[in-house]
């Protein structure tokens, strides 16, 4: 029995969806613990590509139960669209999807405030899904939760109280349109019937399942460098994608978690604003973007690309407690004669001893690179570690040595079948 937290080790989009899909064959329950529909997790089965934003990627395995934990912020429209989409492709989710009664609801004013904040000079480059403003209300103790859908009077009271304040903010501070409270009340009263069957005390469910010997996989969204505390603040998301978030985001205590599994992309990408020391602005960066098809799965924005950063990844491994990991998109590097890996940063001619997550330092550091030979062979059909070219194995060993992380899964393509399990 294992209780594992799967985390993105970089700025998101490391290939978590694909790896959750592979690993969930060995788990009975897959649970999301933070974030919301800002996530875009892609799974490719045969030639069919599925992108999930809210529902855990484990839903594609018929015997897996999926949980949306209390730490997630749920946009009811996005949720119902995703349920409809899954049903339309023949995936039966009834009885297999549970949503925490304590999860917070994304409201129309959260999305509007998100887009208005993004019009200011300090914009973050968010996904526009209302994530920051929703967590804002959660921590200001003004949020509306899934359980409020079950109590009509409470729901109406809370929506009215919020709108009273939000409309003043919208009008006076943002000089924007205001929102029609009755329209929002009508819309949210309708969600009750459709979402009711999925609502559950998921903390009790998960703890009982673990006590009964069932294995649970926690599916992190985003990545460590987007963490509200340990990421490149303020260019982060508003939740805790790092492994610690799995406990507060589900109610499963740290003592019941047996391991943390990292997802490491063979190079680095980032969507949105913020520092990125190894970012490439040249032909190599364009090649990573093109060969890796690096476009956001949620917003379609091109992802910024750069060389692998071992210094950043060892910081991420420390914060998350990653020992074992999957390396993804290794096939994308097959076209390069030489591959660079950042092994440290210099600031004003001095090598830094620890990773700086304050942006003023991070914006000014100079990466220290080591150059490795490329393998220049198509590896996307290889299914055994021993069959990988020598240079590929050397690249993997180099990264393992410089990050302290061991690769148990090597992903060489988007499909389930393009996966090497390291014995």
30 contacts 24 by C-beta, under 8 angstroms: yes
Q: State the Cα–Cα distance between residues 274 and 363, nearest whole angstrom.
A: 8
* Residue 15 binds: one of Mg ion, ligand GDP, ligand IMO, none (C-beta under 5 to 8 A by kind): ligand GDP
How many chain residues are in contact with Mg ion, going by CB under 5 A? 3
The 3-state DSSP class for residue 216 equals: strand
Q: State the Cα–Cα distance between residues 59 and 20, nearest whole angstrom.
A: 10
Pick one of 4, 9, 38, 162: the residue that binds ligand IMO (CB under 6 A): 38
Q: State the Cα–Cα distance between residues 147 and 215, nearest whole angstrom.
A: 27
Rule CB under 6 A: say whether 388 interacts with ligand GDP. no
Q: Closer to ligand IMO at the Cβ: 309 or 336? A: 309
Rule CB under 6 A: say whether 306 interacts with ligand IMO. no
DSSP string, 353-398: SS---SHHHHTT-EEEEEEEE---S--TT--SGGGS-HHHHHHHHH
Pick one of 57, 65, 100, 126: the residue that binds ligand IMO (CB under 6 A): 126
| Strands 65-68 vs 97-100: parallel, antiparallel or unpaired | parallel
Interior angle at CA 62, CA 59 and CA 65, nearest 5:
55
Q: Binders of Mg ion among 2-41, rule CB under 5 A?
A: 13, 40
Q: State the Cα–Cα distance between residues 301 and 303, nearest whole angstrom.
A: 6
Annotated catalytic residue: which of 13, 148, 227, 331?
13
* Residue 222 binds: one of Mg ion, ligand GDP, ligand IMO, none (C-beta under 5 to 8 A by kind): ligand IMO
Quick check: is 75 catalytic? no
Q: Closer to ligand GDP at the Cβ: 158 or 303? A: 303
CB of 331 to ligand IMO, least distance (A): 19
Annotated catalytic residue: which of 21, 41, 53, 104?
41
Q: State the Cα–Cα distance between residues 365 and 321, nearest whole angstrom.
A: 25
Tracing tokens 């060995």 back to the chain, one arrives at 26
Quick check: is 180 catalytic? no
Pick one of 15, 71, 76, 272: the residue that binds ligand IMO (CB under 6 A): 272
The site string for ligand GDP over 285-314 (x = CB under 6 A, - otherwise) reads ------------x-----------------
List beta partners, residue 145. Answer: 104
Q: Binders of Mg ion among 244-303, rule CB under 5 A?
A: 297
Rule CB under 6 A: say whether 328 interacts with ligand GDP. yes
Rule CB under 6 A: say whether 14 interacts with ligand GDP. yes
Tell me how far CA of residue 182 lies from CA of 163, 177, 306, in angstroms.
10, 15, 48
Q: Closer to ligand IMO at the Cβ: 15 or 344? A: 15
Q: What residues act catalytically?
A: 13, 41
Interacting residue ranges for ligand GDP, rule: CB under 6 A: 8, 12-18, 40-42, 44, 297, 328-329, 331-332, 411-414
């Amino acid at each position: 029995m294992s209780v594992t937290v799967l985390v993105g080790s970089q700025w998101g989009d490391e290939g978590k969806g694909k790896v959750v899909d592979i690993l969930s064959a060995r788990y009975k329950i897959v649970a999301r613990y933070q974030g919301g529909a800002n996530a875009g997790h892609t799974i490719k089965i045969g030639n069919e590509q599925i992108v999930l934003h809210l529902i855990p990627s484990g839903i594609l395995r018929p015997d897996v139960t999926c949980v949306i934990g209390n730490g997630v912020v749920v946009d009811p429209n996005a949720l119902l669209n995703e349920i409809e989409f899954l049903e339309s492709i023949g995936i039966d989710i009834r009885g297999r999807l549970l949503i925490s009664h304590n999860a917070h609801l994304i409201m129309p004013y959260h999305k509007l405030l998100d887009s208005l904040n993004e019009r200011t000079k300090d914009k973050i480059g968010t996904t526009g899904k209302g994530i920051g403003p929703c967590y804002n209300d959660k921590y200001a103790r003004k949020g509306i939760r899934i359980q409020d859908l079950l109590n009509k009077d409470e729901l109406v009271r809370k929506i009215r109280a919020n709108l009273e304040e939000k409309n003043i903010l919208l009008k006076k501070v943002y000089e924007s349109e205001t929102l029609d409270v009755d329209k929002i009340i009508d819309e949210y009263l309708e969600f009750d019937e459709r979402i009711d069957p999925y609502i559950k005390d998921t903390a009790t469910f998960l703890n009982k399942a673990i006590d009964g010997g069932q294995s649970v996989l926690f599916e992190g969204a985003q990545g460590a460098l987007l963490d509200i505390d340990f990421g490149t603040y303020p260019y982060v998301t508003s939740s805790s994608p790092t492994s610690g978030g799995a406990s507060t985001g589900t109610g499963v205590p740290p003592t019941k978690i047996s391991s943390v599994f990292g997802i490491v992309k063979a190079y680095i990408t980032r969507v949105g604003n913020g520092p990125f020391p190894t970012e490439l602005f040249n032909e190599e960066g364009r090649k990573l973007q093109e060969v890796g098809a690096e476009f956001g799965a949620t917003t379609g924005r091109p992802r910024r690309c750069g060389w692998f950063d071992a210094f950043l990844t060892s910081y991420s491994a420390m914060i998350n407690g990653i020992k074992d990991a999957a390396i993804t998109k290794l096939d994308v590097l097959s076209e390069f004669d030489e591959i660079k890996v950042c092994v440290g940063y210099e600031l004003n001619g001095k090598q830094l001893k620890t990773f700086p997550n304050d942006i003023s330092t991070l914006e000014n550091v100079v990466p220290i690179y080591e150059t490795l030979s490329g393998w220049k062979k198509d590896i996307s059909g290889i299914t055994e570690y021993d069959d990988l070219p020598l240079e590929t194995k050397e690249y993997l060993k180099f990264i393992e040595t410089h990050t302290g992380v061991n690769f148990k899964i090597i992903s060489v393509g988007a499909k389930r079948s393009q996966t090497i399990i390291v014995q």
